[in-house]
Structure 1
Amino acid sequence: MVSALATCDVAAIVEQIRVTRGWSQAELADALGYSQSWVSRVVNGQQSLTIDQVRKIAHRLTIPVHLLRFASVGNGPAPGALARPADARAAGQDKGASTTRRRDFGKVVAMATLPLPAASANSDIDETTAPTLHAITGGQRRLDASSPARELAKAALGHLELSGRTLARARGTPFASEIAAASSEAAGFAAWLHADMADSGSARTYYRVAVDRARQAGYGLLDVYMLGSLAAFEIEAEEGQAGLTLAAEAQRRLDDTDGAVHPTARAWLSCVRALGHATLGDTAAARHELAVAERSVAQHDNAEPPWPWVFAFTEAKVASYRALAAVRLRRPNDARSAFAEAFEGGPSSSKQQAVLMVELAQAHAEAGDADEAFRLATAALRIGTSLGSERVVDRVRRFRRRHRRTKAPESDTLDEMLITHVTSALAP
């Protein structure tokens, strides 16, 4: 980097910043405000730059212009530094080109004495920008409780793109951190919607974006929340070990946050880990994590949840995780008892209620109560299809495969509904 700065090798500078920040080339292009193809040509030394472009890149990447230095004219500037004729770049001998470069260098050196554009130069970025972006995500989350994910996904992705572009314009301003946090929330919601649509690949991608932007924001709890959400997603996909690894990293980051750890954060993360251990069949570890969660929610200061949690983690929430863990550990009686406690507290949405109903159906089936099991699975499928939740539908499919030889009063109805769901998706 020192060498690149010394020769104004913008291509090398830009590429090193991209690698250091862990950006893709598309994210770098977004930060610079240019197309990905243009950035690719710059990085590969195929695109010459004007002085104004050098200054814009320096500003967007927060490179103080005075750090840029230039090699002697005889050596010529590095590729990608300043615009010049192609033949002069190849030969480095053209006298007219050398004179032009000398004038250009003088302009840049003079420019280094001028102040960089003030944060207020981005007139559309101010103290209201981040709250506005937060409010949009909040409104979309409220709609998610009663709307099909596919109907929300396009708007959510549009909002994510908007927040990303806004973040790129906000770099170097006092508002960048808050806007990064808002963009992280938007990415997390996009991930949730794609998980609900059973698009695991996209869900993972957006969760990683959410984690990256949470770290750009510098908010420890937001980082923990997004990393823990990715862990929960992997565990739900029955990738227990991957989920536990992510949850362990989230716990380390939680322990590193300033001040005392809020009970809601600790309880939630303990429940995520409990479910991961149960997925791997480790009863003792699952019970230990659930006990930690129960002690946490009982603390007196658990009334108001910390942002970005919306609701406090209550005894009913812990009961729902205890029930889910019991299903995975094949302890149907424990599961049914815990589900009863969880439903008393009331699930947060119809979709979440349907997820719990499928798990409860599994507990009843394991206990030999096929009639109740198929009644619950059928009711959950009705909710899942009405709200377009492939997440719920897939869970019902897994339940039916596991009990494919079981016959019950509701089993024929369930089979017909599953067939109808598949054929309706194929209809023109």
Structure 2
Amino acid sequence: MLPTVGTQNTDIDWGSFGDLKDAARSGHYGLVIRKARTIAGLTQGQLGTACGLSQAAISRLENRDDGTYNMNILANAATALGLPFELVGLANQNANGLPVERREFLTAVVAAAAQPIKTVEAAVPRWDNSPEATLRISTSSLRRLDSTVASRDLSESALTHLRLIQTIAREAPDDAHRARLASAGSEAASFAGWLSWDMADHGSARRWYGSAIKAANHSGDRLLTAYQTGSLASFEADTGSPTEALRLVMQTRHHLGPDLPPLAAAWLSSIEATAHAANGHKKACDRALLACEQQAALIPDAEPVAWPWIFAFDERKTTACRITCTAHLGQPLHTRLSESDIATALSSSHDKQRALLTLDVALGHLATKEIDAAFTLGIRALETGIRLRSGKITERARRLRRAYSAQTPPSIVRDFDDQLHSAYL
């Protein structure tokens, strides 16, 4: 039977083992892990299971002698064994071979997750106490859960919610009620599309987004129809159809006409920028990014709009868009953003969105050959993807891996490969 690692070893006086302290002082942290594992009576396979790693990954960690280590793997192994972090150089040394400022930046990225997210409630219509308003609030609640709950676990609730809306709509007393229920149904169908997208079920995602657009048309809400069409455009830009995404953005702008609210204009420009970047059109991307930032600056002074979002479109969103575009274009991050900008963009407490953006940041580091920085971030983001069973995050991680090739990849890339493999098990 596998021992319960990480709890049974808390009574071990690690400081009494002189050879452990000698190995730690010399910077041989892999040797520290090997000796501690032996003291704890564990095999490499058992420690790997406790850390969520393969036996081969533990073996590489223990036998490394070049002084560079993956900070994340070291921390996992030390935690599983109950080792004090200072014995593996994580308290006051540069444990992963990166410059100190880079290591501190990566640590700040993790700490940023604890910061609160700014949110805005979807505008509540005049029928506050109606079933329609209650159904919309339920959809917003499910969207909030999407931040930290696996899409597969939310999917059945989302579909049940949709069926409830359909049932109530069939019993609606008049066209006005049916129109309002169509609005609620459109938002619920859009959320089902979002969940399918996260699960990498692209066929279902397109079908649900199509249903959301159709329901929005029935509701008579032009802004809602624009939002759902834009949502489909965002999906197409991300999944390999940027030309279709641009067509949908143009269609949405035409549908709304000249009275485009700044919030809608900024959001559509961000999608346009991403699509141009995916097509490799740098100048067009830059024009769209500039428009996005200019329109976003107008949002605070504009009239509130009935918009089916629960997350604000603010400076963090525009910065995140710039990071994603930079990743698509294969350009170095430092040519477009400061590390402070990057840390701000990664401050979202929405786990899935932060993981996706972290992978885009990793691609930016890869463009400047910062292999350790890129795959340290990649490993961290992929951990979230595995925990939340997100096909979208896994596919973005595969994009990072395809961007790097070497006959003999360094150990951190092999560790990333092990983790990527486990995402499909």
Q: Which TM-score band (shorter chain)?
A: 0.5 to 0.7
- Match for residue 202 of structure 2? 200
Alpha-carbon shift at residue 404 of structure 1 (Å): 4.0
Alpha-carbon shift at residue 171 of structure 1 (Å): 6.6
- Match for residue 283 of structure 2? 284
Q: What is the distance in 2 between the residues matched to 1:255 and 1:338?
A: 36
Q: What is the distance in 2 between the residues matched to 1:315 and 1:139?
A: 24
Structure 1 segment 341-352 matched on structure 2, within 5 A? 341-345=341-345, 346-347=347-348, 349-352=350-353
Equivalent in 150, 153, 167 of residue 152 of structure 2: 150
Q: What is the distance in 1 between the residues matched to 2:360 and 2:384?
A: 14
Structure 1 segment 26-175 matched on structure 2, within 5 A? 128-170=130-172, 172-175=174-177
Q: What is the distance in 2 between the residues matched to 1:140 and 1:394?
A: 24
Q: What one-letter code is carried by the residue in structure 2 that aligns with 1:295?
A: Q
Q: What is the distance in 2 between the residues matched to 1:368 and 1:303?
A: 46
Could you say what secondary structure the match of 1:422 adopts? coil
Alpha-carbon shift at residue 248 of structure 1 (Å): 0.9
Aligned length in residues: 296
| Cα offsets for 1:67-88 (capped at 9, x unmatched) | xxxxxxxxxxxxxxxxxxxxxx
| Cα offsets for 1:275-306 (capped at 9, x unmatched) | 11111121121111111111111124158564
- Match for residue 320 of structure 1? 320
Q: Superposition RMSD on alpha carbons, in Å?
A: 2.2
Alpha-carbon shift at residue 331 of structure 1 (Å): 1.7
| Cα offsets for 1:225-253 (capped at 9, x unmatched) | 11000000000002110111111111111
- Structure 2: unaligned runs, 5 residues or longer: 1-126
1:160 touches 1:183 (CA, 8 Å); kept in 2?
A: yes
Q: What is the distance in 1 between the residues matched to 2:291 and 2:339?
A: 19
Say yes or no: does 1:295 pair with 2:294.
Answer: yes
Instruction: Name the CA shift for 1:175/1:372 in 2 (closer, same or farther; >3 Å).
Output: same
Alpha-carbon shift at residue 336 of structure 1 (Å): 6.5
Single out whichever of 187-196 and 276-285 deviates more from structure 2. 276-285
Instruction: Name the CA shift for 1:335/1:236 in 2 (closer, same or farther; >3 Å).
Output: farther
2:382 touches 2:393 (CA, 8 Å); kept in 1?
A: yes
- Match for residue 190 of structure 1? 192
TM-score (norm 2): 0.66
Alpha-carbon shift at residue 312 of structure 1 (Å): 3.1
2:330 touches 2:363 (CA, 8 Å); kept in 1?
A: no
Q: What is the distance in 1 between the residues matched to 2:265 and 2:322?
A: 16
Instruction: Name the CA shift for 1:171/1:362 in 2 (closer, same or farther; >3 Å).
Output: farther
- Match for residue 403 of structure 1? 404
Alpha-carbon shift at residue 126 of structure 1 (Å): 11
Instruction: Name the CA shift for 1:365/1:336 in 2 (closer, same or farther; >3 Å).
Output: farther
Q: RCO higher in 1 or 2 (8 Å CA, sep ≥ 6)?
A: 2
Say yes or no: does 1:360 pair with 2:344.
Answer: no
Q: What is the distance in 2 between the residues matched to 1:157 and 1:338?
A: 42
- Match for residue 244 of structure 2? 242
Instruction: Name the CA shift for 1:309/1:303 in 2 (closer, same or farther; >3 Å).
Output: farther
Equivalent in 199, 212, 215 of residue 214 of structure 2: 212
Equivalent in 228, 242, 256 of residue 230 of structure 2: 228
Q: What one-letter code is carried by the residue in structure 2 that aligns with 1:352?
A: Q
- Match for residue 109 of structure 2? none
Q: What one-letter code is carried by the residue in structure 2 that aligns with 1:320?
A: A
Instruction: Name the CA shift for 1:267/1:416 in 2 (closer, same or farther; >3 Å).
Output: same
- Match for residue 68 of structure 1? none
Could you say what secondary structure the match of 2:307 adopts? coil
- Match for residue 417 of structure 1? 419
- Match for residue 273 of structure 2? 274
- Structure 1: unaligned runs, 5 residues or longer: 1-124, 424-428
Alpha-carbon shift at residue 401 of structure 1 (Å): 2.5
Could you say what secondary structure the match of 2:380 adopts? helix
1:323 touches 1:339 (CA, 8 Å); kept in 2?
A: no
Q: What is the distance in 1 between the residues matched to 2:128 and 2:178?
A: 10
Could you say what secondary structure the match of 2:207 adopts? helix
Instruction: Name the CA shift for 1:177/1:348 in 2 (closer, same or farther; >3 Å).
Output: farther
Q: What is the distance in 2 between the residues matched to 1:370 and 1:240?
A: 28
- Match for residue 376 of structure 1? 377
Q: What is the distance in 2 between the residues matched to 1:303 and 1:173?
A: 29
- Match for residue 183 of structure 2? 181
> Greater Rg, structure 1 or structure 2?
1
Q: What one-letter code is carried by the residue in structure 2 that aligns with 1:375?
A: T
